[in-house]
Structure 1
Amino acid sequence: MTSGFGRWSATATHHSPLEDAQGILTGALMVTIGLSILAHLGFVTGGTAGLALIVSYATGWNVGIVFFLINLPFYGLAITRLGWAFTIKTFLAVACLSVLTALQPEYFTLGAVNPLVGAVLGGVLIGYGLLALYRHRASLGGVGILAIYLQDRLGWKAGLTQLAVDLVILAVSFAVADPVAIVYSIVGAVVLNLWLAVNHRPDRYIAA
């Protein structure tokens, strides 16, 4: 049976390609701003974005390029389990985020930011961005692909699945980040994933 992720038709319950493009670009932009706040403060986040930040801190490599490369192995699951439409939109979302994060230092810089405010604001912005992507049947790859698959197949809340994985990633980040920064990072991760757990409800929002 064809997965709901594989439908491209524009109907009352399915977005048109133009609507998908708007949602993907907006979601990627919001996540970019949220990540820039966290990176500016030396914080990390969960998921593949968090892994990309950890690698970037450890190596000095561009976080956007690292993020793109980390996501490549996850596309097999997306293609076989969630369909080509979901995979293509996710690939485009990842590509948009990679480009935007690479360009961000040239066009958007930050001054002094209160750590607690930055952690909460970064978590909310990333949560909003992911919610926009999820509602257009896309993700930012990696953990997002797994979380959406488990929610679609088993009914597990995507936000709670991501929170469990994110806490493991944040534990690993103690190797490259200051412990105080990790505490703030955990605050941001909790805000992000609780936001998704509360607001990402397929039974309330059925457009694909």
Structure 2
Amino acid sequence: MTTKITLELRRYLQILVGGIVLAAGVTLFLVPNHITSGGTPGMAILVTYFTGISIGTIMLSINIPMVLMSMKFIGRGYAFRTVFAIVVIAMSADMFLEMLKLPALTQEPLLGAVFGGMLIGLGVGLIVKASASPGGPSIIAGMIAHRSHWKEGDLIIALDALIVFSAGFVFPKLDSMLWSLVGVYISARGINLILSGRPSKKVLHISSENAETLKAHLLHKLGHEGGVILEGTTLHTGDERRLLMLIVDNNKVQSVRQIVQAYDPTGVVVVMEASELMGG
């Protein structure tokens, strides 16, 4: 019981930090430079520009009804954490803009898009990792996906794209939409970094005619790294060829290349990021 309470407290603390960071990215970088983002912050920025209503008020007005409507699709714990996240983001945004009246940290749109996107990505990543949602299109997408054949991920991308492209019509300059796209891209990278972590391993595919020789030298050099040898034939000639698939630390990639060059100059090495690893 104590473990569950501790875990839940850590989640709420993580949501608190994530919400404040997200709000800082929106209010100190995006809003002053007429840049929007995906999700509820993006919608709030656009509506605020027209109405003058505070961003926090708009976020609450959009998100709380969505959470209430989606209660039967999401668990009670997830719903409570999501409501907490929404309240933290809204209150932090209004505190920065309305109460403290903090000035913009930059008037350069490029810097605003980059650093605003980074903070939003970090904030959303922390919130999602704590088993909650910052609200917005993710809730709408979940509800639509539950009742249709559409995939939730595709719906989120479509709704975010609609919000960002709207910036080109709402703000005086078309540049706002372009900078918004930059910010959204950086936010997505930040979210992936928090949820998946910085890739510390690489996946190597080695096509070779001397697979057994390479296998022996790789085992001697690298030790017990994860790997497998696959049998196959080339597409054009039909010659038999073997494919070694290895998962190695980043700092061992060069060693693998050197071994392949030394013992099979005709071998082909393909290096890929192992962004998510599960299992043993």
Interval of TM-score (by shorter of Structure 1 and Structure 2): 0.7 to 0.9
Asked if 1:51 corresponds to 2:46, the answer is no
Higher normalized strand content (fraction of residues) = 2
Distance verdict in 2 for CA 1:137–1:175, change over 3 Å: same
Kept in 1, the 8 Å contact 2:168–2:175? The answer is no
Cα distance in 2 between the residues matched to 1:145 and 1:15: 27
Distance verdict in 2 for CA 1:186–1:64, change over 3 Å: same
Asked if 1:89 corresponds to 2:84, the answer is no
Kept in 2, the 8 Å contact 1:41–1:113? The answer is yes
Asked if 1:67 corresponds to 2:59, the answer is yes
Structure 2: gaps (5+ residues): 198-275
Distance verdict in 2 for CA 1:88–1:188, change over 3 Å: same
Asked if 1:133 corresponds to 2:124, the answer is no
Q: Note the C-alpha offset of 1:127.
A: 0.5
3-state SS of 1:113 partner: coil
Asked if 1:26 corresponds to 2:17, the answer is yes
Q: Which residue of 2 aligns with 1:4?
A: none
What is the TM-score when the length of structure 2 is the normalising length? 0.60
Asked if 1:118 corresponds to 2:109, the answer is no
Larger Rg: 2
Q: Note the C-alpha offset of 1:62.
A: 0.5
Cα distance in 2 between the residues matched to 1:200 and 1:161: 20
Distance verdict in 2 for CA 1:89–1:109, change over 3 Å: same
Distance verdict in 2 for CA 1:66–1:141, change over 3 Å: same
Percent identity of equivalent pairs = 24
Q: Which residue of 1 aligns with 2:138?
A: 144
Distance verdict in 2 for CA 1:111–1:131, change over 3 Å: closer
Letter in 2 for 1:68: L
3-state SS of 2:103 partner: coil
Q: Note the C-alpha offset of 1:9.
A: 7.7
Distance verdict in 2 for CA 1:112–1:27, change over 3 Å: closer
Letter in 1 for 2:21: M
Q: Note the C-alpha offset of 1:100.
A: 0.8
Higher normalized helix content (fraction of residues) = 1
Q: Note the C-alpha offset of 1:78.
A: 3.7
Distance verdict in 2 for CA 1:191–1:62, change over 3 Å: same
3-state SS of 2:94 partner: helix
Q: Which residue of 2 aligns with 1:193?
A: 188
Cα distance in 1 between the residues matched to 2:180 and 2:2: 40
